[in-house]
A and B are shown apart, each in its own frame.
Chain A
Amino acid sequence: MSIFAIVALSLNVVTGAAGIVSLATGAFFGLGAYTTAILCKAGYPSLAAQLAGVTIAAVLSIVIALPALRVRGVFLLLVTIAVQIIFTVIAQSWISVTGGDAGISRIPPYAPFGVPLRGVAFLIVCIVEAAIVYEFCRQLMRSPFGAVLRGLRDDETGSAALGKNVGAAKITAFAVSGAGAAFAGSLYAHYTAFVDPFSFDLSVSILMFLIVILGGAGTANGPLVGVLVLTLLPEIFKFLPLPPGVAAAARQLLYGVLLVAVMYFRPQGILSTAPGARPIGAIRT
């Protein structure tokens, strides 16, 4: 759960603060996971692999960010979807590196500074790291940079006219978001000891998006609430007598219902104090 919290918090920077909807989160999450999987199995230390994943993600997020400078709204959303799908296809097809649909298994545990962590110890480290990310994101959103992001969400042209470099801000927001997701991805790889293309596909991106908007895009605690709700709610299904395949489908159905419900009843999310019906993004252009 804390791993997803890290992803959600970083997505919040882009989607919540800057108001840009990105469905490529799964791809960056997966990028970190696969990098860790490949490097750690090749014998590299965990922290180095994690750092490698984060750096690659930050650099590759430029790939999304560049179109972000020229296109907005739906077109940008399609770009993020395209990137997400491209990642999934590569993960599925570049079998020599990624193992294709079968994925990579038996990933060694997280071992910062050479000390392998399992079970409770790993959990504690994850929580600590999540707390650090939380504080970082909170401070970031209150900093002048955070104000620029809010400005570009509310009125991009106006902010530019006031001297703010909105282009650089967008690129940086994407980089932070991608890096955060990759960071979490590497933890996830250690946690499940197994990665495959389906753990990091479009539905994961959609789930992350739902988490952010459910809790309140742009708020500091929103993503946490979102993660809490969306990790606990599906547990209900465990108590219902459902045939195995149905449970997974039911969970996705729940996400769909929540997407509609949040937008209908409380688009600004649970925690947001902003006036209603302004969840994300600026006025329709």
Chain B
Amino acid sequence: MTAALEVRNVSKHFGGIQVLTGASFEILPGTVTALIGSNGAGKSTLLNIVSGLTKPDAGEIFLHGENISTLPAHARARRGLTRTFQHVRCFKTFSVTEAVQFAGTPATDGNFGRSLLRMAGMGHRSEGVRVDEILATCRLESRADAACGSLSYGETKLLMLAQSLACNAAVQCFDELCAGLEPALIEHVEGVMQDLARRGMAVLFIEHNLQVVRNLAQHCVFLHQGCMYRQGTTATVLEDPEVVRLYLGQ
């Protein structure tokens, strides 16, 4: 089976610091993979490189076997690779419904030419994403008309999840989505992600909460100081003595 996402030999340095060295791994469709490691290990940088926001010094990214290394971020998202952000960002002037709608509208619709055609009454209406369903899945129905700027921290995280679902990419990445959420919500989010995998999407997430990692991820990649220290099934990695020593502690 072709890997949904393959990262090959990615290296990156910032100033004098080598943040990533020869990072390589792949994730298969229908699986959930966790990317773990201490702060500063390079996880977010790796995600930025995968999603196209940062250029690596070396290495390549493959999406379903296609080399997307030279594509800008939005092009990668269009091909089915989306990610959420660790630091909460928000579309302040949008309502929750509009934000999800925005995420779900096919990118080509946002094209100026297409919009002109639509305004003239021509051009077909592409099937809108089912916003209500997604909001319900993410437990945001009660906030459907709220302005994004007025959401609580947890609700904003759920919104990011909703937007990811709306994009419906084949590979969805989440950067510490569960951080700061209450336990009941975390459980719910786990369920949503498992559902994604069941439907054939590939999920990659960065997480410090090891309970979530154990519950959710079949595979695990442990980064330490920019190197792929260990990869494998979650059980193997989390019981590895080196991982325990360097990251988990006793």
What is A's interface to B at a CB cutoff of 8 Å? 136, 139-140, 143-148, 150-151, 153-155, 157-169, 172, 218, 274-275, 278
Contact = CB atoms under 8 A, between A and B. Distances in A.
B102 to A, nearest CB: 5
Given A147-B102, A163-B77, A275-B149, A169 B110 contact: yes
Contacts of B91: 150-151, 154-155, 158
Interface residues of B, number: 36
Interface stretch (B10-18, B82-90, B133-141, B199-207): B82-90
B92 A278 contact: yes
A143 B115 contact: yes
B114 A161 contact: no
Interface of B: 51, 53, 72-75, 77-78, 82-83, 85, 89-94, 98, 101-103, 105, 107, 109-112, 114-116, 118-119, 147, 149, 163, 167
Given A150-B94, A154-B94, A166-B74, A140 B115 contact: yes
A208 to B, nearest CB: 22
B94 A165 contact: no
Nearest to A283: B92
B147 A275 contact: yes
A276 to B, nearest CB: 11
A210 B53 CA distance: 35
Given A154-B92, A275-B147, A161 B77 contact: yes
A249 B245 CA distance: 74
Closest 6 CB pairs of A and B: A163-B77, A145-B115, A143-B115, A148-B110, A163-B107, A144-B109
Nearest to A157: B53
Interface of B, helix, strand, loop or mixed by DSSP: helix
Contacts, number: 101
Contacts of A157: 53, 73, 85, 89
A165 B74 contact: yes
A108 to B, nearest CB: 32
Contacts of B98: 147
9 contacts: A140-B115, A147-B110, A148-B110, A159-B102, A160-B73, A162-B82, A165-B110, A168-B111, A275-B92
Contacts of A155: 89-91
Contact of A143 (B90, B94, B101, B119): B119
Nearest to B150: A275
B94 A162 contact: no
A140 B118 contact: no
Contacts of B112: 145, 168-169, 172
Contacts of B163: 162
Given A150-B94, A157-B89, A163-B167, A145 B77 contact: no
A153 B89 CA distance: 12
A134 to B, nearest CB: 13
A114 B82 CA distance: 55
Contacts of B77: 160-163
Nearest to A142: B119
A147 B90 CA distance: 14
Contacts of B103: 162
Contact of A140 (B53, B83, B85, B119): B119
Contacts of B72: 160, 167
Contact of A161 (B85, B90, B101, B111): B85
B53 A163 contact: no
A77 to B, nearest CB: 21
A154 B107 CA distance: 17
B85 A154 contact: no
